[in-house]
Amino acid sequence: MQFPTFINKNISHAGGISEKAMAATVEAVIGAAFLDGGFNAVQTVTVNLGLHDTPYVSMTGNDLRASQ
């Protein structure tokens, strides 16, 4: 999935989406999924975004952790 395609930015900013903006957007999407549907929703979102079981996200029991 090309996540930057779905992030709107101020038209006056040139260039691509910064890593900080991308991280904040992904964090917000995952947080919204958790608030709306709990851990199962987060698992679905991370799978659909291609983040599940990657070096960026790991799962231990019922605990989903993001690497720094």
Going by C-alpha positions, the residue among 31, 11, 26, 32 that lies closest to residue 56 is 26
Q: How many H helices and E strands in the chain?
A: 1, 2
Burial of 25 (C-beta count, 10 Å sphere; 0-12/13-18/19+): middle
Q: Measured in Å, how far apart are the chain's first and last C-alpha atoms?
A: 22
What is the DSSP-derived secondary structure letter of residue 58?
Answer: E
Please state, rounded to an integer, the average pLDDT across all residues of the chain: 75
Q: Say which residues have a Cβ less than 8 Å from residue 27's Cβ, sequence separation at least 6.
A: none
Q: What is the pLDDT of residues 13-37, one digit of tens each?
A: 667 777 888 888 888 998 999 999 9
